Amino acid sequence: MASAVALFFGPIPISVFSFGVFLQPWAQDFHASRRATSLARMILTMVLPLGLPFAGRLLDRYGVRKVTLPSSLAAGLILLSAFTIGSLRQLYIFYLVLGLAICGVAPPHYCAAVSYWFDRRRGLALGLSMLGLGLGALITPLAAQYLIARVGWRLTLSIFGGAALVIAVPAIAVFLRHRPAAAESRAESIVGLSWPEALCTSTFWAMFCAFVLIAGSVQGCLSHVASILADRGSGAATAALATSLFGGGVLAGRSGFGYMLDRFFAPRVAAAIFGLAALGIGLLRIASSAGIACAAAFCIGLGLGAEVDIMAYLIGRYFGLRAFGTMYGITFAAFGLSGGLGTYLIGAAYDTTSSYAFALDVSCLVTAIGGAIVLRLGPYRYQLQPNS
């Protein structure tokens, strides 16, 4: 519950998922192009992969709350200061500093806390905790758009900063614990590989490649879905419905498949989910009606929604919890970079061919290959603990 609340009211939904609703107000206020204002997102995207592995190392050494609490407090204060932004350069600095703070409150840290507490029902617990992020992705852009129209973008960012300070920070301070008290009192050692040992295994690199391939194709398709539908004559209502169903797929993926991870062999569950995502991309390739387009968006959303939870679950089962924060930080950083690269490559393919057909064909194939790689991971290294 603490993780879900902290993710929902934290800085990620407003700074990442709601970024698009600020572009037009920024362009008007600063008399700048969309490309110039979009650079703020690029700055944020580049900072996160650089900072996440370092934040993961701190988490493994000092515990979850000692990393997330000061980072959440800093992120809230940075958002609260948005009313002072007066130029495009200040906006860039704002997102640079905010990105550094977000490195300490990214999903991997909350997944680490949940993984320390849960074993037999870890998949379900991860799904429920990430539900806060899924709801944030669905609700926060709408709330931000509503507030921007009434109080302006500066005060809107400040309001979300205040919510982080008033709700997310106390939730972390009071309820988030690194490990169960009984385990701490017995001074139990956390089993697992060190991060250098994990990086030397073929299992890690197979998992790494699978998630990079899937993130690039799935996130790239998400970024272009509205343009794809518009090119085929779909109206704004159809594009909005497809986007909403994508969000519904993300929510379903984040909450529904965690239960399956606990009951079935996780690589098979992952391969099935990524197979659905590949099917969604294939449907998007041939979509000629609103119904097919919406079904495609939902399937692609399932793949993206489940990927973060599956990543956490597999890292815990194959490498243990000793260096969980570091390993997840490295993998999640690559996940974010791949998503940005996939978006760029699909756009470049469109500019070259004047069509999304080739990009969608490749994305479908790449997603299927990622799912096939996951199936080759082999048995867990760290099984369920007795009586856990």
pLDDT of residue 383 exceeding 50, the answer is: yes
Average pLDDT, the chain: 83
How far apart CA 107 and CA 328 sit, in angstroms, is 9
Residue matched to tokens 């008033």: 166
What tens digit of pLDDT does each residue of 302-322 get? Answer: 877 777 788 888 998 999 888
In this predicted structure, what is the pLDDT of residue 243? Answer: 62
In this predicted structure, what is the pLDDT of residue 318? Answer: 92
In this predicted structure, what is the pLDDT of residue 225? Answer: 72
What tens digit of pLDDT does each residue of 116-142 get? Answer: 888 888 888 888 888 888 788 778 888
What's the number of CA atoms in the CB half-sphere (13 Å) around residue 99?
A: 22
Q: What is the mean pLDDT of residues 179-207?
A: 76
pLDDT of residue 171 exceeding 90, the answer is: yes
87 C-beta neighbours (distance < 10 Å), count:
11
Q: Judge contact between 382 and 192, C-beta under 8 A.
A: yes
Residue 171: which of 140, 129, 203 has the closest Cα?
A: 129
Structural domains in the chain plus CATH codes: 2-185 (1.20.1250.20), 195-374 (1.20.1250.20)
Q: Judge contact between 184 and 92, C-beta under 8 A.
A: no
In this predicted structure, what is the pLDDT of residue 180? Answer: 67
In this predicted structure, what is the pLDDT of residue 75? Answer: 94
What tens digit of pLDDT does each residue of 42-93 get? Answer: 788 778 878 888 888 888 888 888 999 999 999 999 999 999 998 889 999 9
What's the number of CA atoms in the CB half-sphere (13 Å) around residue 334?
A: 17
In this predicted structure, what is the pLDDT of residue 247? Answer: 65
Residue 145: which of 38, 44, 25 has the closest Cα?
A: 25
Q: 208: pLDDT confidence band, cut at 50, 70 and 90? A: very high
In this predicted structure, what is the pLDDT of residue 154? Answer: 93
How far apart CA 118 and CA 110 sit, in angstroms, is 12
Please report the beta strands in the chain, taking only residues with DSSP state E, as ranges in sequence order: none
Burial 270-290 (b: 16+ CB within 10 A, else e): bbbbbbbbbbbbbbbbebeeb
In this predicted structure, what is the pLDDT of residue 185? Answer: 46
Q: Cβ contacts of residue 339 below 8 Å, gap of 6+?
A: 215, 216, 218, 219, 220
pLDDT of residue 187 exceeding 70, the answer is: no
Phi, psi of 191 (to 5 degrees): -80, 155
Phi, psi of 192 (to 5 degrees): 145, 170
Q: Judge contact between 326 and 53, C-beta under 8 A.
A: yes
Q: Judge contact between 25 and 153, C-beta under 8 A.
A: yes
Decide: pTM greater than 0.85. no
Q: Which of 201-210, 215-224, 272-281, 317-326 has the lowest mean pLDDT?
A: 215-224
In this predicted structure, what is the pLDDT of residue 186? Answer: 44
pLDDT of residue 172 exceeding 80, the answer is: yes
